[in-house]
Amino acid sequence: MSLNFTISELIKSDTASKYNINNMPDINSLDNLLDLIFYCLQPLRDKLNKPVVITSGYRSTRVNRLTGGVSNSQHLYGQAADFIINGMTPFQIIEKIKTYNIDFDQLINEYDKWVHISYVKGKNRKQVLKIS
- Quick count: other Cβ atoms within 10 Å of Cβ 125? 10
Segment lying near Zn ion (by CB under 5 A), choices 24-32, 33-41, 82-90, 123-131: 82-90
CB of 122 to Zn ion, least distance (A): 21
> What is the residue type of 128?
V
CB of 2 to Zn ion, least distance (A): 26
Residue of closest CB approach to Zn ion = 116
Q: Write each residue from 33 to 72 as x if it is in contact with Zn ion (CB under 5 A), else as -, in one continuous string.
A: ----------------------------------------
- How many chain residues are in contact with Zn ion, going by CB under 5 A? 3
Residue from 9, 31, 35, 82 that binds Zn ion (CB under 5 A)?
A: 82
| CB-CB contact of 127 with 107 (8 Å) | yes
Note whether 116 binds Zn ion by CB under 5 A: yes
Footprint on this chain of Zn ion (rule: CB under 5 A): 80, 82, 116
